[in-house]
A and B are shown apart, each in its own frame.
Chain A
């Protein structure tokens, strides 16, 4: 599902009404049908039709993805369920190399003639485009795995949970918020199941069953007298998990100012807290602009990691493939070649990991049939690697791809997408309270809010859901209008302390956008609460 379709379905976001005419691709289906996977033998047969047709028309390489993408989406507001939608999108994408150039075609009518025709279109496109090629595609070697499969390690398939149980949960969340004094509350639950079959001329036939979910809400409080309003969004995270994420567990809670959540989430409890906090936000005092030491919770820092570490280490951006849209990167190859580019302080270690349990980007194999793995990107503050796919591995002198290929649909061409990129926790024991105790003048920031970064990933600005004043080691009240602005390299060099692994949590994004036509991907970023010294904070209040 594209981000804009999500916005359309959910009615969230300021642009929702404007986008009402956008069709939602994917067909609604009954649950019994959704839970029945397409027969693997049939998929293998269809894949072979495509691969053979592509080869016979002149392809030197071909891969085929047969995708069945299931979504379930439930939205509510206040006391009513606004929408329950089950959608399915089923089809095939065929990618080929012919005359050294890529070609791609996608179809949703999967009979043999149509599959063979689409393979021909992909080869034709590749041949036409090869005239504009400066250098033929070079694929890193990849062995065929034969017939293999992989499944997300979920405990409770959220698609199998009765609809009523899910709507009851969301209405209980709304009830808790309204009882707590909220004026409005919107809540939603979004489930994703990607049933993906990959086959290539290298001899792989890979069947995968991938699950993700995202429970979220927005609590709003208005003050009719002043005309002011504030919101507080859920402190949940989208996860690569089943419905078990929504079954609270005490040992997965962390006590901060209020309760925070690791791999289990208490949505009703968070809504109760949110209703209280949104009232506090309305009454909060404006921030005094200036330099502050920031103590940033994982619910906020994950997005800063995503934008300032995840994106600039995408090799396709570094090379210029995204120059027209998502942008390029300040982490140019010479910085990597020097082996001493000072990305951050010595405490800063980032690892890419496509195998991390509960994460959004975890799969067994990527979308060009490469087994997933983990590797260092920033080690002791120094840039040591990027993110690659098969046609880029040779640039880093790697013997094989790092397995970062992904397409958001059967109808989209796969390309380099971000693995989970996470900040390793501090090695010495340190709790959040101990960290805050040492801060003289600071702000403790939780929850994602506004975010923006330039196209080479130097200059960014982020704000949070909750910004608490820290004064002489003590947490004070909430502050209004806080946004932190910094430069990526300066920011990560100002990192002065990282809490230990007991505080480690993952946050994530369901809709990371990149590419033309634009595609989304889901990715997680783990970290513990982290301190940054002397960061510029502005006050965003204006009058209209």
Chain B
């Protein structure tokens, strides 16, 4: 099914609402067309095209809610899905945390949809990968990579007059190049809404350069080191901090934001004063939808200002109970930086380690957001402002909260995507002192 226009979704959802007998009814409609190509061993491996749609109907009688979903849109199916959600609502136990649906809202539009991405074909993807493979073969390296583009729409409407619509495109590219002897490996990742901004050649060259330079890695002792984390490495750590910034968890005393005595750290300085983190659906580099899945408006929100925790996100229920603003969690995060390039940050480093990528991140202790994981695909020792030699990979045990207190410098933010969660972010490379590496890994 093609991507539905605003008018088409409106007509379809109005029809669904006309069948409702519930006290309240809400309809969510979304769909996407995705295309992907995967390659490995310098050759294409699997790829495909996937098209899917979904219509979700939520019906409520008092505090009893039923939800039903369907992916067929003829009149009979629409009537059936409404009736089914109402049947489930009647069977459901009363939910004391039920909050009535929202009334009409006004949403601005953000530039999430780009035609050049929506128009991508299997040949466009194959041509892009051909360029990447050429660089790999020219450098006598072996490439494995993935290019994926998606075009999607999302719409919602309810019996109280709320209507929201958004279309979005995304393109993700990531590649790992390895030397044939298996001793060197390099990585690059890029994400955009606009395919024309994606420079597959440049990203592959970065990965090729790292692969070539990372052979003959030396083992150095685990311990505390100054590190420069490239944006992709920094994000997979920082996102775990953001994922824990839920007001209810903090209030309930089971988050790193909780304090002895039952209070939270909201309003307190938690990290270095140079740390400023916000979300903004209208940011040109990382635009996101202006509404969240339950209809709440996504606005610009300052999460950390000069190191002080300014806001926590909360469900509508918890916000109502606590008399606080019901801020939804953001779809992307933005961290301010400086104009320093990565090269300048390296130049100003007496002794340190450059980290390209971190892998297999897991929470060890939620109380301190202590995380573990490993470096991967390009780890280098820096001395007197220069990359001196590649080093063997490390396991780390570190908390992003401790890390942002040990901040030495920030570089120029760039858009990246988390290799762990898929979260998009605009984030600077960062220099951190006393980063804890706990053991060596033989992995390349």
Q: Which residues of B contact A541 (CB under 8 A)?
A: 365, 368
- CB under 8 Å from chain A, chain B span 361-395: 361-370, 372-374, 376, 393, 395
Q: Is there a chain B Cβ closer than 8 Å to A324's Cβ? A: yes
Q: Is the CB of B441 within 8 A of A459?
A: yes
Q: Is the CB of B54 within 8 A of A23?
A: yes
Which residue of chain A is the closest to B55 with respect to CB atoms? Answer: A27
**Do A459 and B442 form a contact, CB below 8 Å, given A17-B243, A125-B49, A321-B41?**
yes
Please measure, in the bound complex, the distance between the C-alpha atom of A461 and the C-alpha atom of B441, giving whole angstroms.
11
Q: Is the CB of A80 within 8 A of B96?
A: yes
Interface centre among A81, A455, A487 (most CB of B within 10 A): A455
Q: Which residues of A contact B130 (CB under 8 A)?
A: 131-132
Which residue of chain B is the closest to A25 with respect to CB atoms? Answer: B54
Please measure, in the bound complex, the distance between the C-alpha atom of A449 and the C-alpha atom of B423, giving whole angstroms.
24
Q: Is there a chain B Cβ closer than 8 Å to A360's Cβ? A: no
Q: Is the CB of B44 within 8 A of A459?
A: no
Please measure, in the bound complex, the distance between the C-alpha atom of A328 and the C-alpha atom of B360, giving whole angstroms.
14
Which residue of chain A is the closest to B132 with respect to CB atoms? Answer: A132
Q: Is there a chain B Cβ closer than 8 Å to A319's Cβ? A: yes
Q: Is the CB of B253 within 8 A of A224?
A: yes
Q: Is there a chain B Cβ closer than 8 Å to A341's Cβ? A: no
Q: Is there a chain B Cβ closer than 8 Å to A516's Cβ? A: yes
Q: Is the CB of A121 within 8 A of B49?
A: yes
**Do A108 and B71 form a contact, CB below 8 Å, given A323-B144, A456-B443?**
yes
Which residue of chain A is the closest to B271 with respect to CB atoms? Answer: A544
Q: Which residues of B contact A121 (CB under 8 A)?
A: 49
Q: Which residues of B contact A122 (CB under 8 A)?
A: 48-49
Q: Is the CB of B443 within 8 A of A327?
A: yes
Q: Which residues of B contact A328 (CB under 8 A)?
A: 178, 182
Interface centre among B43, B69, B144, B146 (most CB of A within 10 A): B69
Q: Is there a chain B Cβ closer than 8 Å to A330's Cβ? A: yes
**Do A517 and B36 form a contact, CB below 8 Å, given A20-B328, A29-B84, A228-B367?**
yes
Q: Is there a chain A Cβ closer than 8 Å to B293's Cβ? A: yes
Within the complex, the shortest CB–CB distance from B329 to chain A, in Å, comes to 5
Which residue of chain B is the closest to A106 with respect to CB atoms? Answer: B50
Q: Which residues of A contact B242 (CB under 8 A)?
A: 18
Interface size on B, residues (CB 8 A): 118
Q: Is there a chain A Cβ closer than 8 Å to B399's Cβ? A: yes
Please measure, in the bound complex, the distance between the C-alpha atom of A220 and the C-alpha atom of B361, giving whole angstroms.
23
Q: Is the CB of A225 within 8 A of B261?
A: yes
Please measure, in the bound complex, the distance between the C-alpha atom of A543 and the C-alpha atom of B395, giving whole angstroms.
20
Q: Is there a chain B Cβ closer than 8 Å to A280's Cβ? A: no
Q: Is the CB of B44 within 8 A of A101?
A: yes
Q: Is the CB of A132 within 8 A of B95?
A: no
Q: Which residues of A contact B438 (CB under 8 A)?
A: 461, 485, 538
Interface string of B77-116 (1 = CB under 8 A from A): 0000100110110011101110000000000000000000
Q: Which residues of B contact A323 (CB under 8 A)?
A: 40, 142, 144, 176, 178, 185
**Do A30 and B87 form a contact, CB below 8 Å, given A128-B126, A324-B145, A452-B361?**
yes
Q: Which residues of B contact A108 (CB under 8 A)?
A: 51-53, 71
Q: Is there a chain B Cβ closer than 8 Å to A14's Cβ? A: yes
Q: Is there a chain B Cβ closer than 8 Å to A453's Cβ? A: yes
Within the complex, the shortest CB–CB distance from B259 to chain A, in Å, comes to 5
**Contact stretch, chosen from A82-90, A252-260, A369-377:** A82-90
Please measure, in the bound complex, the distance between the C-alpha atom of A127 and the C-alpha atom of B358, giving whole angstroms.
36
Q: Is the CB of A516 within 8 A of B329?
A: no
Interface string of B247-268 (1 = CB under 8 A from A): 0000011101011111000000
Q: Is there a chain A Cβ closer than 8 Å to B439's Cβ? A: yes
Interface string of B15-33 (1 = CB under 8 A from A): 0000000000000101000
Q: Is the CB of B397 within 8 A of A540?
A: yes
Interface centre among A80, A106, A227, A325 (most CB of B within 10 A): A227
Q: Is there a chain B Cβ closer than 8 Å to A226's Cβ? A: yes
Q: Is the CB of A28 within 8 A of B69?
A: yes
**Do A80 and B243 form a contact, CB below 8 Å, given A23-B30, A459-B442?**
no
Q: Is there a chain A Cβ closer than 8 Å to B60's Cβ? A: no
Q: Which residues of B contact A452 (CB under 8 A)?
A: 360-362, 372-374, 395
Q: Is the CB of A330 within 8 A of B46?
A: no
Q: Is there a chain A Cβ closer than 8 Å to B67's Cβ? A: yes
Within the complex, the shortest CB–CB distance from A166 to chain B, in Å, comes to 12
Partner of B40, one of A24, A90, A183, A321: A321
Q: Is there a chain A Cβ closer than 8 Å to B47's Cβ? A: yes
Q: How many A-B residue pairs have CB under 8 A?
A: 295
Q: Which residues of A contact B393 (CB under 8 A)?
A: 454, 459
Q: Is the CB of B67 within 8 A of A28?
A: yes
Q: Which residues of B contact A544 (CB under 8 A)?
A: 256, 368-369, 399, 401-402
Q: Is there a chain B Cβ closer than 8 Å to A336's Cβ? A: no
Within the complex, the shortest CB–CB distance from B47 to chain A, in Å, comes to 6
Please measure, in the bound complex, the distance between the C-alpha atom of A456 and the C-alpha atom of B40, giving whole angstroms.
16
Q: Is the CB of A459 within 8 A of B440?
A: yes
Q: Is there a chain B Cβ closer than 8 Å to A105's Cβ? A: yes
Please measure, in the bound complex, the distance between the C-alpha atom of A324 and the C-alpha atom of B423, giving whole angstroms.
18
Partner of B368, one of A4, A536, A542: A542
Q: Is there a chain B Cβ closer than 8 Å to A450's Cβ? A: yes
Q: Is there a chain B Cβ closer than 8 Å to A451's Cβ? A: yes
Q: Is there a chain B Cβ closer than 8 Å to A152's Cβ? A: no
Please measure, in the bound complex, the distance between the C-alpha atom of A231 and the C-alpha atom of B367, giving whole angstroms.
11
Partner of A483, one of B50, B123, B364: B364
Q: Which residues of B contact A82 (CB under 8 A)?
A: 95, 97
Q: Is the CB of B368 within 8 A of A543?
A: yes
Q: Is there a chain A Cβ closer than 8 Å to B38's Cβ? A: yes
Q: Which residues of A contact B301 (CB under 8 A)?
A: none
Interface string of A111-139 (1 = CB under 8 A from B): 00000000001101100111111110000
Q: Is there a chain B Cβ closer than 8 Å to A273's Cβ? A: no
Q: Which residues of B contact A29 (CB under 8 A)?
A: 68, 84
Partner of B258, one of A135, A163, A227, A543: A227
Q: Is there a chain B Cβ closer than 8 Å to A109's Cβ? A: yes
- CB under 8 Å from chain A, chain B span 312-345: 313, 315, 328-331
Interface string of A7-37 (1 = CB under 8 A from B): 0000001111111110111111110000000
Q: Is there a chain A Cβ closer than 8 Å to B272's Cβ? A: no
Please measure, in the bound complex, the distance between the C-alpha atom of A5 and the C-alpha atom of B36, giving whole angstroms.
21
Q: Which residues of A contact B366 (CB under 8 A)?
A: 14, 229, 231
Please measure, in the bound complex, the distance between the C-alpha atom of A20 and the C-alpha atom of B240, giving whole angstroms.
15
Q: Is the CB of A26 within 8 A of B370?
A: no
Please measure, in the bound complex, the distance between the C-alpha atom of A415 and the C-alpha atom of B362, giving whole angstroms.
26
Partner of A413, one of B30, B48, B148: B48
**Do A324 and B40 form a contact, CB below 8 Å, given A15-B421, A104-B47, A227-B261?**
yes
Q: Is the CB of A542 within 8 A of B176?
A: no
Please measure, in the bound complex, the distance between the C-alpha atom of A332 and the C-alpha atom of B183, giving whole angstroms.
13
Q: Is there a chain B Cβ closer than 8 Å to A322's Cβ? A: yes
Please measure, in the bound complex, the distance between the C-alpha atom of A485 and the C-alpha atom of B369, giving whole angstroms.
19
Please measure, in the bound complex, the distance between the C-alpha atom of A85 and the C-alpha atom of B53, giving whole angstroms.
18
Q: Is there a chain B Cβ closer than 8 Å to A184's Cβ? A: yes
Additional pairs, 15, CB under 8 Å, beyond known A20-B329, A454-B441: A81-B92, A106-B51, A109-B1, A128-B123, A129-B122, A130-B44, A132-B126, A223-B253, A227-B258, A328-B182, A330-B443, A413-B46, A516-B148, A542-B399, A544-B401
Residue pairs across A and B with Cβ atoms less than 8 A apart, 19 shown, are: A17-B246, A17-B315, A20-B294, A24-B69, A27-B71, A28-B68, A91-B52, A106-B49, A125-B48, A132-B130, A227-B253, A319-B41, A323-B142, A323-B178, A327-B359, A411-B52, A452-B372, A461-B438, A463-B364
Interface residue ranges, A against B (CB under 8 Å):
4, 13-21, 23-30, 80-82, 84-85, 87, 90-91, 101-109, 121-122, 124-125, 128-135, 163, 167, 183-184, 220, 222-229, 231, 319-325, 327-328, 330, 332, 411, 413, 415, 450-459, 461, 463, 481, 483, 485, 487, 516-517, 536, 538, 540-544
Closest 9 CB pairs of A and B: A104-B48, A227-B260, A27-B69, A323-B144, A459-B441, A456-B443, A454-B443, A222-B253, A324-B144
